[in-house]
Each structure stands twice: as C-alpha cells, then as structure tokens.
Amino acid sequence: MIRIIVVDDHSVVREGLCSLLRTDPRFNVIAEAGDGMTAVALCDLHQPELVLLDLIMQGMDGVEATRRIRSASPRTHVMILTSSEDESLTMQAFEAGAQSFLRKSIRGEYLLDAVERAAKGDAVLHPGIAQQILRYTSRRTQSPPRNPFGALTERELEVLRCLAAGGSNAKIAATLGIAEKTVRAHLSQVMSKLQLADRTEAVAYAWREGLMRPQ
C-alpha cells in the first residue's frame, strides 16, 4: 500500500480527501495535517511515499513546507493540490522540489490514478500548470554556451521528453513503440550522462533547461 499524508488547512477539504483515498485499497492515509509545520514533522517521522499538499496555508505555506519535506524525507513525492491561480507561487513550489501539480477541481477517479502514478515516481501535471512551468522555464532559459542535452542520443532525448510530459514507463514505451525494458535502459543512460539522481531530477532538468519548449 502507498503511504500518504494529506495536508490542507481547510478541515472539510482535508477530510474529504482522506475519505476518498481510504476508499481505495491501494492507499494508506497514515496521517493528516492542517499546517505546514506539522506536515514537515509527520513526513520526517513517517517517510511516506507521497504527501498531498495544499499550496496556500496559514503560517508555513506549501512552498516552504515542500522545501523542508524534501530535505527531511528526500524520497517523498510532493504533490501540490491547489485552487490557486498564482503562477509565482506555483513556480516557487516547483523550484522547492514539488514534482506534481493538480487543481482541486480534479475529479475523484482521476485524482486516485494520479496519486498512484506520482507515488511510483511519475510527474503528474495539470495541463494549465504545465504551461505555467513552460513559460517560466522559457523566460529563465538563456542561450547557453553549451547544449545541456548534447550528451544524449536522439532516442534518449525522446524518452526524456516523454518522461517530462508525465509519461510512465508503459506510456513512453507505447508512444515510442519500444519495450518497457528499453525505456528503463534509456532512462538509466539519461540519468548517468546528465548526472541526475532519479526520475524527479530528470523531469526538473528537462523543464529547467528548456527541453519542453515548443519545437
């Protein structure tokens, strides 16, 4: 079972999310919190696979909570679930280490699927937030004296692009017409060549260095 901590300062929202997740045998909601400080302490204690985190909260907000959670529990996947349209806050959370971003308007069955994918290491992005990240990274990306992806083959670039778009190994394999074990091999090469620790860092690198700009 995927161990989850739910964090939202609105008790009705938090209780609703916990109730939804507890209907699914894949998930084990091990704790819940109404503020960022408590969330950090709980993640430090339990080291969950995933924390479902509100962005705007009283006291410590989701950005600072994300930063501290990633420090206290590096293997915990941070999924931001927000109703905020504040692009700057979203980008701050992205820089702080949040890997997935969804709107609170998401339908329940889609949320459950997204949570499972995120806990397994996939970056799950609401299309609108993906566009925000694209605009942000495009503004930050300047013409560098080097090609940040120069060490990769064309196929490795394709695999990395699919991964950054939120694809699981199975989806990447289906999109590119290759076997899942081949996808895993390519991702291993990508992370080795770019000196990245895991899939999360690979996704962040792809967006930050401009791979996801329109071709």
CATH 3.40.50.920 fits 144-208, yes or no: no
- The C-alpha atoms of residue 151 and residue 190 are separated, in whole angstroms, by 9
- How is the chain split into domains, by residue range? 2-137, 144-208
Least confident of 53-67, 143-157, 188-202: 143-157
pLDDT band, very low/low/confident/very high, at 143 (cuts 50, 70, 90):
very low
Q: What is the pLDDT of residues 95-107, one digit of tens each?
A: 899 999 999 888 8
Rg (CA), the chain: 17
To the nearest whole number, what is the mean pLDDT of the chain? 89
| CATH fold match for the domains 2-137 and 144-208 | no
Residue 148 has pLDDT above 60, yes or no: yes
Tell me which DSSP letter residue 27 carries. E
Q: Which residue has the tokens 């709980």?
A: 42
pLDDT tens digit string along 32-65? 999 999 999 999 999 999 999 999 998 899 999 9
Q: How many residues does the structure list for the chain?
A: 215
SS3 121: coil
- Spatial strand order in the sheet of 77-82: 27-33, 2-7, 50-53, 77-82, 100-103
Q: Going by CATH, does the domain composed of 2-137 fall within 1.10.357.20?
A: no
Residue 163 binned pLDDT confidence (cut-offs 50, 70, 90): very high
Q: If residue 200 lies in a helix (H) or strand (E), which one and from where to where?
A: helix 199-208
Token output for 101: 């971003």
Q: At what angle do helices 87-96 and 127-140 cross, to 10 degrees?
A: 80
